[in-house]
Structure 1
Amino acid sequence: MTSPVPPSSDGVVVVPGTDGEPARIQVRRAREGELALAYPAGTHDRELVVEGSPSPAAVAGLAAAILAADERCRRVVLPVPEQDLPAIAWAEEAGFRYVVDVETRAGSFSLLVVEPGWVLEQPHVLADIPLKE
């Protein structure tokens, strides 16, 4: 995989596209976008806004680089049009997993995420959360 071009001042990263054209991916704080009120976005979470047709490998590499650069980032969110099965399959090929469908003023989206190991290792059942005794 070719390394993405470092982000510009507006957070845009250029990656190889599957159609031979460069694709642009804006990396922004999740709380700065339209999705901020659609799910419990963390202060350090990032959202990807995709323009063009980046390869799944390029998007996976970018997500990994984002998580490596900020150890407090809990998730990288990738919105695609709601129930767009080819887009969801493309995101899953890039290592994202489907979480939820949401509606915003801008439209309806299926949200997919990549999370670091320390998030995935957290207990998900209340009875499994260690408590002081």
Structure 2
Amino acid sequence: MKPLIILGAACAAIAIATAMPAAAHDPGEAVTPHFEEAIPNIPGKTLKAVIVDYPPGGASVPHRHADSSFIFAHVLSGEIESKVNDGPTQTYRAGESWYEPPASKHLVSRNASKTEPARLLAVFVLDSDEAALTTPIK
């Protein structure tokens, strides 16, 4: 009987140990810088690109974009739900794109799927001295 108790406790410990890191580190998004270059024929402007990876059910916190940033967004895989400013919430699928004007409020940005990951390319044209691409909305 004692080996069964030890085996059960060991299985429970393994289950807890493997589940906790996933829950503790399950981000709403992962943003990876992809490209940055000053635009030589537009002094003071820079082109920046980031890849945004959403796990199943992942979402960004509502945020505001830099005052000078014009954004082109393109879904690389999966489906992304997006709401910018007072516009409707829209779903974009792989291969679809949209833009966001400067100083936009991005109120919804999330993976439309609870079971599949999604990936987005966001390209910013902004003032070279802008420090932050986004700021959380409180």
TM-score between the two structures when normalised by the length of structure 1:
0.32
Which is richer in helix? Answer: 1
Normalized per residue, the structure richer in strand is 2
- The TM-score with structure 2 as length reference comes to 0.31
| Structure possessing the higher relative contact order (Cα contacts under 8 Å, 6 or more residues apart) | 2
